[in-house]
Amino acid sequence: MPVARAEQAGCARWDGMSELSLAEALRPPAVFCAEAGAGGKVPAPRRNAGHSLGLVVTARSAFMYPIAKVFVAALAQRLPLCPGQKDQIHIALHEAVGNAVLHGNLGVGSDPFDSPAGLAAMRHMIDSRLASDCLGLSGIRLDAGWTATFLTIAVRDSGRGFQPTHDQRPSGETSCSGRGLFILHALCDRVRHFASGTGVMLAFVL
Amino acid sequence: MRFDYDAGSGCFAMTGEFTFADHPIFQGVLTQIGDGRDRSIVFDVSGLSFIDSAGLGMLILAREEARKLGSTIRLRGPRGQVKRILAVTKFDALFPVEA
């Protein structure tokens, strides 16, 4: 089996090799899963049993694989989510994880890429930072907890944090970037930034 | 994301998931747009199953590059999550959208 399943009940390790192996590692009864080699300032998820699921992955894997999609599919194995809710949570979590990787762990600024050259330069910066083990292996942590009527997912990064503004709209309607936070606020029932901006809590009424 | 370009009709047929990781592929779309002037370009997004904020940003970038050359871009056939995110972000007011 490609995944090193937990020697301890509820704990799993992901080999970082594929989307399928991550789905396998997150299969119930896993309560938390950590990618081998993930480091940085992000501590391991809480290992409380019950209605929770935690995951720690590297920035490199969070950029390479559809972590949010697999994580939400794993949640759907544990609590009833209708297709519309799955889409809603998937989109919001994808944006939160993307922000955590790019603006958190990799420290990429939020300046808009407003030209093909700017797009290429941003991509070059991302690739070079992901290639560094210091940043590429830094951790991203997801913690989900739920009740019958409420789901929260906290996303924590290993970056320096940021100061969220009250106005989360794009800087202009034709701006090429800056829509991630706007989408979060549009799709979540509540969004809360914490830990000096290195964490964001997404809440959904089920 | 993958795309097939039909130069005759000016249609880019996009399939898969269009996310930040698709920057390199999208450079190919920008190159094709830059090869002509005063054209009516279609992004057929009916084959896209997912798009994120970075993908939306790249659509805007393509629109601006086309505008500089006197060309226009319209979106065709958004479905599911793509249709939903276009509505949430009011992209349907930025691009002509065909069913």
**Sequence-distant (≥ 6) Cβ neighbours of residue A133 within 8 angstroms:** none
Residue B38, CB-side half-sphere exposure with 13 Å CA sphere? 0
pLDDT score of B6: 93
Do B51 and A183 form a contact (C-beta atoms < 8 A)? Answer: no
Domain A11-205 sits in CATH 3.30.565.10: yes
Cβ within 8 Å, pair B88-A186: yes
Q: Domain extents for chain A? A: 11-205
ipTM: 0.88
pLDDT at B47 over 60: yes
Q: Which neighbouring-strand residues pair with B18?
A: B51
- Residue A120: band (very low, low, confident or very high) from pLDDT cuts 50, 70, 90: confident
Mean pLDDT across the stretch A6-33? 88
Structural domains of chain B, with CATH: 2-98 (3.30.750.24)
Closest Cα in chain A to B65? A115
Mean pLDDT across the stretch A188-198? 93
Chains A and B: how many Cβ contacts under 8 Å?
A: 79
Closest Cα in chain B to A98? B20
Mean pLDDT across the stretch B49-64? 93
In tens, the pLDDT along A78-105 reads 999 998 899 999 999 999 999 999 999 9
pLDDT score of A92: 96
CA of B60 vs chain A CAs: smallest distance (Å): 6
In angstroms, rounded to a whole number, what is the distance separating the alpha carbons of residues B21 and B29? 15
The separation between CA A161 and the C-alpha centre of its own chain, rounded to angstroms, equals 15
pLDDT at A59 over 60: yes
The separation between CA B71 and the C-alpha centre of its own chain, rounded to angstroms, equals 13
Contacts of A177 in chain B (CB under 8 A): 53-54, 57
φ, ψ (nearest 5 deg) of residue A31: -105, -30
Mean pLDDT across the stretch A164-174? 56
* Pair of tokens at residue B58: 């790249």
pLDDT at A190 over 80: yes
Do B48 and B12 form a contact (C-beta atoms < 8 A)? Answer: no
Chain B residues in contact with chain A using a Cβ-Cβ cutoff of 8 Å:
17, 19-21, 23-24, 26-27, 30, 50, 52-54, 56-58, 60-61, 63-65, 80-81, 84-85, 88-90, 93-94
Percent over 70 (pLDDT), chain A: 82
CA of B8 vs chain A CAs: smallest distance (Å): 24
pLDDT at A187 over 90: yes
Percent over 90 (pLDDT), chain A: 64
φ, ψ (nearest 5 deg) of residue A128: -70, -35
In angstroms, rounded to a whole number, what is the distance separating the alpha carbons of residues B66 and A63? 29
Do A87 and B80 form a contact (C-beta atoms < 8 A)? Answer: yes
**Sequence-distant (≥ 6) Cβ neighbours of residue A25 within 8 angstroms:** A3, A5, A12, A13, A14, A33
In angstroms, rounded to a whole number, what is the distance separating the alpha carbons of residues B99 and B84? 13
pLDDT at B66 over 90: yes
pLDDT at A165 over 90: no
Cβ within 8 Å, pair B23-A176: no
- Residue A169: band (very low, low, confident or very high) from pLDDT cuts 50, 70, 90: low
- Residue A39: band (very low, low, confident or very high) from pLDDT cuts 50, 70, 90: confident
pLDDT at A9 over 70: no
CA of B17 vs chain A CAs: smallest distance (Å): 10
Top pLDDT among A170 and B76 is at B76
Contacts of A114 in chain B (CB under 8 A): 61, 64
Q: Which of A95, A115, A174 sits opposite B94 (nearest CB)?
A: A174
Query: Would an 8 Å CB–CB cutoff place A92 in contact with chain B?
Result: no
Contacts of B95 in chain A (CB under 8 A): none
What average pLDDT is seen over chain A? 86
What average pLDDT is seen over chain B? 92
pLDDT score of A48: 56
Query: Would an 8 Å CB–CB cutoff place A60 in contact with chain B?
Result: no
Q: How far is CA A171 from CA A176, B15, B82, in A?
A: 9, 29, 22
Do A40 and A105 form a contact (C-beta atoms < 8 A)? Answer: yes
**Eight-class DSSP state of A169:** S
pLDDT at A42 over 70: no
**Sequence-distant (≥ 6) Cβ neighbours of residue A103 within 8 angstroms:** A109, A110, A159, A162
The separation between CA B59 and the C-alpha centre of its own chain, rounded to angstroms, equals 5
pLDDT at A2 over 50: no
In angstroms, rounded to a whole number, what is the distance separating the alpha carbons of residues A198 and A200? 7
pLDDT at B77 over 60: yes
In angstroms, rounded to a whole number, what is the distance separating the alpha carbons of residues A117 and A39? 33
CA A65-A151-A62 angle, to 5 degrees, is: 15
Cβ within 8 Å, pair B52-A66: no
* Pair of tokens at residue A54: 């935690």
pLDDT score of A11: 87
